Amino acid sequence: MSLSLHDSATGTVRPFEPLRPGHVGIYQCGATVQSAPHIGHLRPAVVFDILRRWLERSGAEVRFIRNVTDIDDKILAKAAAAGQPWWAWAGRWERAFTAAYQALGVAAPTYEPRATGVVPDMIAFIERLIGRGHAYTGRPGNIYFDVRSYPDYGSLTHQRLEDLASQDDEPEADDKHDPHDFALWKAAKASEPADASWQTPWGRGRPGWHLECSTMALRYLGETFDIHGGGIDLRFPHHENELAQSRAAGYGFARHWVHNAFVTQAGVKMSKSLGNTLLASELLKQAEPLVLRYVLTAAHYRSTLEFSPATLPEAAAAWERIVGFVRRAGERLGAGQTVSGAALPAAFVAAMDDDLATAGALAVVHDSVRRGNTALADYQDDEALTALIEVRAMLAVLGLDPLSEPWSSASASSAAPRAEAALSALVESQLEARAAARAARDFDAADAIRDRLAAAGIQVEDSPAGPRWELSSGG
């Protein structure tokens, strides 16, 4: 494997070497399902989908875990404000995230655990930390990680403990040994639903956010695994705390850290608190899913993606150049070629191996499209077919091949209503012509129209309310 990836822990692009040759374990921090997904959530989903596809195309077997945080302060608060059970609120938005991922052609993870499904594992994790001298009890139900017990705290984000602000995961807590300590387990509160807590040896409570991910990674990927990542906003404190508690527990944890940059609007990071979110549901009304995925693919994952009113139209124009060639070439040469194992241009491979340089990879796609269009215009079908297979093979790596699943089914599904509308318009036009012929007492012309419709499988029935039509049943 010749892939090099940026590692946030070292701050360098370094060769990626799996723990087990031919096998890769990835943990992507998934959604906290408190409200509707926006483009800031979609970017890491697409980035890690491309990483997974490239690893698989390179011959690796990938175990991909993406979690769901389904219990959290904000989930409880928003559910209470809406007058709904917290678990129903979380379930509603989990389904919305799943729908958004599917709309963009993001492959389902190998497994997608919920935090509430691994509570016994969390309790065992805490007991291990307490036994190793890295965690302590506060008031009944409160358990904290002792950051000063772990000398390498801050190593992921290259910060010194004395330079860090206090943890704000439990701002009202006055039972910490140190303001930098963070909650592993939170005591149940009288103001919260009784079913939002679990019994532990230390009292009733619920998990801290950081503990959830460390536990799920351990459960589904083992003590040491290859890649952990998500949005860059998760580096501190979330991933720093995950790393500290997992290493303190004696586990190797992640060997490589991958983080994508922000999506911004007018230079400001996407944020619910700032009200500048671009909801997935709204974006998918403005553009085809393939266009939106193209937007999220076109910029390098470590580059800030600035979203403006021109973003979608510009991407649509670029995408139309690609898909237009694929359709034209497919119509002339046949669209049934198998491209999953087709050779990829060396320049495309080099770009993808260079820290997933998707902008460079798409430049190779566009070069092949230009070459293919020239071949089509010159009726050089062999060269056009070579370009078509190359383009589709590259697009498949990026999850953009319009002739492969899920896009081919989606295209057929979206075409059905348009075809029905077109048929209805054509038949109604013929019925109007037939009515005009009958009004002019040109019955031969009227009968001829009816016969042509019948030959095309359209059955016409005259009624007092006017002619009605339907597709004949055949036979």
Is the peptide bond prior to 237 cis by the omega test (within 30 degrees of 0)? yes
Q: pLDDT category, 469, cuts 50, 70, 90?
A: confident
Cβ contact 41:103 at 8 Å: no
Task: Provide the angle, in degrees to the nearest 10, between the axes of the packed helices 407-439 and 443-455.
Answer: 160
For every residue of 51-87, DSSP letters joined together read HHHHHHHTT-EEEEEE-BB---HHHHHHHHHHTS-HH
Residue 170: the pLDDT is: 62
Q: pLDDT category, 20, cuts 50, 70, 90?
A: very high
pLDDT at 453 over 60: yes
The three-class DSSP label of residue 7 is: strand
The rounded distance, in Å, linking the Cα atoms of 254 and 239 is 10
Burial class (CB in 10 A: 0-12, 13-18, 19+), 90: buried
SS3 track for 87-154 = HHHHHHHHHHHHHHHHHCCCCCCCECCEHHHHHHHHHHHHHHHHHCCCEEECCCCCEEECHHHCCCCC
Cβ contact 35:93 at 8 Å: yes
Backbone torsion region of residue 436, taken as left when φ is above 0, otherwise alpha when ψ lies between -120 and 50, otherwise beta: alpha
The stretch 433-452 carries a mean pLDDT of: 87
pLDDT per residue as tens digits for the range 309-343: 999 999 999 999 999 999 999 998 876 777 778 99
Which one-letter DSSP state was computed for residue 269?
E
Which one-letter DSSP state was computed for residue 161?
G
Q: How many CA atoms lie within 13 A of 94 on its CB side?
A: 17
pLDDT per residue as tens digits for the range 209-238: 999 999 999 999 999 999 999 999 999 999
Q: pLDDT > 90: what percent of the chain?
A: 75
pLDDT at 186 over 90: yes
Could you tell me which residue, 466 or 249, shows the higher pLDDT? 249
Is the peptide bond prior to 406 cis by the omega test (within 30 degrees of 0)? yes
pLDDT per residue as tens digits for the range 113-165: 999 999 999 999 999 999 999 999 999 999 999 999 999 999 999 998 888 87
Q: pLDDT > 70: what percent of the chain?
A: 93
pLDDT at 281 over 70: yes
Residue 321 token pair: 């150049």
pLDDT at 180 over 50: yes
Residue 412: the pLDDT is: 44
pLDDT at 411 over 70: no
The rounded distance, in Å, linking the Cα atoms of 321 and 316 is 9
Top mean-pLDDT range of 52-56, 378-382, 438-442, 456-460? 52-56
pLDDT at 100 over 50: yes
Cβ contact 235:259 at 8 Å: yes
Residue 184: the pLDDT is: 96
Residue 465: the pLDDT is: 67
Which range (9-18, 161-170, 400-409) has the least confidence? Answer: 161-170
Q: Tokens 């995961």 sit at which residue? A: 169
Which one-letter DSSP state was computed for residue 48?
H
pLDDT at 409 over 80: no
Cβ contact 130:86 at 8 Å: no
Residue 405: the pLDDT is: 86
Residue 265: the pLDDT is: 87
The rounded distance, in Å, linking the Cα atoms of 406 and 203 is 48
SS3 track for 172-202 = CCCCCCCCCCEEEEEECCCCCCHHHCEEECC
Residue 464: the pLDDT is: 73
Total Cβ atoms within 10 A of residue 406: 16
CA 217 to chain centre: 19
For every residue of 217-259, DSSP letters joined together read HHHHH-SEEEEEEEEGGGIIIIIHHHHHHHHHTT--EEEEEEE
Residue 433: the pLDDT is: 86
pLDDT per residue as tens digits for the range 348-376: 999 999 999 999 999 999 999 999 999 99
The rounded distance, in Å, linking the Cα atoms of 323 and 61 is 30
The three-class DSSP label of residue 302 is: coil
Q: Which amino acid is at 245?
A: Q
pLDDT at 475 over 60: no
pLDDT at 458 over 50: yes
Cβ contact 351:361 at 8 Å: yes
Cβ contact 42:100 at 8 Å: yes
N- to C-terminal Cα separation, the chain? 58
Which range (85-99, 157-171, 274-288, 315-329) has the least confidence? Answer: 157-171
CA 422 to chain centre: 34
Q: How many CA atoms lie within 13 A of 287 on its CB side?
A: 25
Residue 355: the pLDDT is: 98
Residue 274: the pLDDT is: 59
